[in-house]
Every structure is written in C-alpha cells, then in structure tokens.
Chain A
Amino acid sequence: MARDPFPTRSLSDREFHEGVVTVSHSVRAEYRWDAGEAIGRYLDGLRAGRIMGRECRECGRVLVPPRMFCEQCFRPTDRWVEVPGTGTVNTYSVCYVTWDLRRLTVPELPAVIDLRSGGIMHKLGDVEPGDVHIGMSVEAVWKPAEDRQGSILDIAYWKPV
C-alpha cells in the first residue's frame, strides 16, 4: 500500500481528553533574579519616584531601560541622568483577553511610552480606549511613596497630560 505522503494522525478534542493516554507534569522551579547594576539603580530610582537613564557620550543616547554598557558603541556608559516622567504614546493596544485567551471584562491598555530618550513598555489609565492615540502626551502616575517597592509597578500607569 502506498504510504501517506503527508503522515500525521490528528486527534479530535474528544480523543485528546478522553480516548488516548496522556501523562501530565508541572515543572517545579522558582527563580530569584538579581536586578543587576543598571536595573538595580533604575528600580531604586522608581522607588524614589524618578526615572533614571544611562547616558552614552559616544552616541549621545540616554538609555532607558538603563544599561552599564552601550550595545551600539560597545563601551561603558558614562553617567546617570534623570529622565522626566512625561512622554508620548509610541504605540498602544486595547487588549480584551488574558494570556490564555480568556475574555477580560475591562480591557487593558498596554503601550510603548517614548520618553525624552529611550522608551519602555507600560500601561495607560484614566482614559477611554477610544480617546487614546499614537503621539498622545502622557505622564507617569506614581503609586503613593509608602507603597512603592522598587519595581516597574511603582508607576501605576500613564495618563494623558
């Protein structure tokens, strides 16, 4: 008998859930990550309500997220610079699902925020999805100082100026 030119035995949902043998397993592993030199200082800054970048004098960029090296010039960066907590929306989305595709009742507004130099991923708030546009000026809304933990979440979200 001629062999199937494109083999593969496709399983139906029912077969998968009821009819064939499967074995389940969860990987048990926890991680504790060092923030490192550059991001450690960045997180310290966030706790203090400041966004800190690293300047590379060779290319003139202020790197946010900061790094102790410039990947383009491949040399050490030179100094810490505070970047204003205002920026513009580089791009955004209105997301209606969780990562495993369950519907959200309130959509999320992830965005890339361009800062004076550099840019980060974060979320927008205090705004209707239909009112957001690329190029919109936004400012960081900080958590109260006593609630900040040295985390990107110390910025609660970004809202229109």
Chain B
Amino acid sequence: MGRRVAVVGAGMTRFVRRSLETGKELAWEAARCALDAAELTVDDIDAVCIGTAPDAFDGVHMKGEYLADGAGGWNKPVIRSYVGGGTGVFCAVQGWYHVASGMFDRVLVVAEEKMSSTMPHPQGAFLTIFDHITERPLEPNLLWIFALEMNRYMTTYGIEKADIARVAVKNKRNAAGHPAAQLGQADITVEDVLASEVLAWPVQRLDVSPVSDGAVAVVMAAEDVANRTCDKPVWVEGVGWNLDTAYWTNRDLAYPAYVERAARMAYEMAGITEPRREIDIVEPYDPFDYKELHHLEGLQLFGKGKAPEAARDGVLDRDGDLPSCPSGGLLGVGNPIAAAGLMKVAELFWQLRGEAGARQVPGTPHRGLAQAWGDLMQVGTVIVLGR
C-alpha cells in the first residue's frame, strides 16, 4: 500500500504539570530533539504534520498555525489534525500517508499540548463535548462518562476493581524508569490505588492520568531515504482509524467496537492474522486504568472481559508475555493529550531499536502497536511498527 515508510527519529520534552515554555516553545524543543535524533535539519523536511487538542485548551484560535513556527513548519506544507484523544496516534498515521502517497520524502510529525493554561481546570474546556441541547443542561462532569463506561465494563464481565487498579500500579512503576515522566512511582501498590479519593465511583483519584504540559515529535521517511540515512529504521507496517456514533448512549459501552475496527484495518494492512502471537509489545491508550484493559480487548489481544486476568497474572508487565505500556503510559508518563499519543509511538521506536534504557523490555521485540482513543468515547486510532 503506497511506499514503505519508516520512523527515523523521535524526541520529546519532559511531561510536567506546568511548564515555563509556551506551547510553541514545547513544540520547538520536541521537534529539535527528533531532528537531532534523525541527524537531519529542518531543511531536510518536506512537510509538517501537527497534532494538538482543542483550541479551547489554550484560548488560542488556529492552534495549528500558532504552533507551526515552533514545529518547523515555516514555508512548508503544514496540516494540523484533531480527533480528540486519538490525535497523537492519528498525526503519525497522517505523517505516514503524506510519505506513503509519494508526495513527500521526509515528514516531521509534532504533537503538543499545554493544558495548564485553562483556569480553574482544563476540564472546563472538555465539557463542551456533551450534546449542547440534550446533555449539557444536566451539567455533566467529564468524569461521568468514564465512570459510566467503567461501571458498565466491570459489571458486564464481573471484573474486580483490584484487577483494574493493577494497571495503574504497573504503569506508574514502569514510568519510574522514564526520564521524562511526570508521575513515575516505583513503590506504589494496589492498596494505594484502592485507598485513593473516590471521585466518581468506580473512578478513584489514582485511576486517572494527570493534567500535563509536553510535546513529542517523530521524523518519518520514505524507504529509500530511510535506508540511505538511518541505521535502524522502524517501519510502519499498518495503520487504522475508525469513528463510531456521537450518540454514545445508544452504544455498547462494555466493548470498544471502534477500536476493533481500527485494529482490523491496521492488521489487514500489516498481514497480521493472529495479533496475540504476532505483536510483541503494545502501547494501548490509558487515560484511565480500565481503558487500557478495554482497549487491549478491542485490539483483539484478549477476549472480551479477559484483559483484567492478564493484568493479574503479570502478562502485561514489562517482563511479561505481552508488555503493555512499557513507557509508563498516560497514567505514569503523563497525559498532555495529543503529545501522550505520539509518546506511545516514540516509545515503540525506542523499544524496537533497543534504546529504551531502564524501560527496555527483555528479549528483542520485533513488532509493536500503539493505539489512542478519544472524542465522545468513539474514535480509535492504531499504528503498527516493526523492525
């Protein structure tokens, strides 16, 4: 399908609660790190793909254009994509089709989010996702939809809260090995999660990822360019994305069918018929701990309601049979929305090249999958990378 495309460099800022840098400065720092890693300069870049969440976070309209100067976009073809929390993986998909199409040889993909500017809390900017006529008069809280979905998931399959809490523990422990992480914690326990403040039952404080500022960038290149200029290119083997209805109360909340459709699209392109056997590491989207499990099931890596068992048995640990969120994920590294998704793609790049340092999974992973999710619990975005 089109030309083969590789990731040839990745870089990121630290994820922090509140950065001194503006969004544009964060984009610049991440872009420069990725270019350095690829041993390229901005003059080598043919086009720029920017991913960033709603303008309302920043109170800055035309956010893609605002970021473009810092993202290496001056005097180049630039596009900004946005599919809610799914943006960070989608902008890598967009980078892929820019190159695969034959239009561009080298593309810089930059994802940025600065959530700390919204006062008193960035949730205020999220509230407008609810239907403005039939839902917003109820004064919904963003936590509601997660709590509602989590309860439906737990009740449908008889899942224990402790098995879900294991995901938060695993990710925050994994993040302790990540030099850019906001919430790494090597000694956190399931008891800590279960004892944390109840926000919207069954959601407790430590089930939730933090508010963060940060940026991530990757460089993608066409096959001939990648082979000529990069020792260890990491190839894009499959991409997929899918959007379900915004009438979310008419959907099955126990199972993310849109993630399955996105995954099947990516698997078909990658020639994957048995994902559980053919994928070595996975970075599913984990803004809440139950979401990681929900998504692992949608990705066809575990049967419906079966992912919690895998968490309990250590299958998802860094040294388990299918390491999940070895980066530390959104729960541990942090959740600057679009940047968090692209961080997962960068993590696969480092893991598949054996460059993940303290986070490196044992053995030699050949193939990894990153997935993100968002909008009104309705979008799935997937990318499969291999070496």
Contacts and interface: CB of A to CB of B under 8 A. Distances in A.
Listed from nearest, the 8 A-B pairs whose CB atoms lie closest are A93-B147, A91-B152, A10-B16, A95-B200, A9-B20, A8-B13, A8-B14, A6-B180
B200 A96 contact: yes
B200 A94 contact: yes
A6 B12 contact: yes
A67 B250 CA distance: 12
A15 B147 CA distance: 34
Given A39-B133, A95-B147, A121-B249, A7 B29 contact: yes
Interface in A82-114: 90-101, 108, 110-112
B123 A11 contact: no
B140 A121 contact: yes
Interface stretch (A19-27, A73-81, A139-147): A19-27
Interface string B11-31: 011111111110000100100
B123 A120 contact: no
Contact of A8 (B59, B149, B214): B214
Contacts of A97: 141, 143, 199-200
Interface residues of B, number: 55
B132 A8 contact: no
Interface residues of A, number: 52
B152 A100 contact: no
A125 interface: no
Given A91-B151, A92-B148, A10 B14 contact: yes
Interface string B245-257: 1010110010000
A64 B249 CA distance: 9
B120 A122 contact: no
Nearest to B56: A27
B268 interface: no
Contacts of B103: none
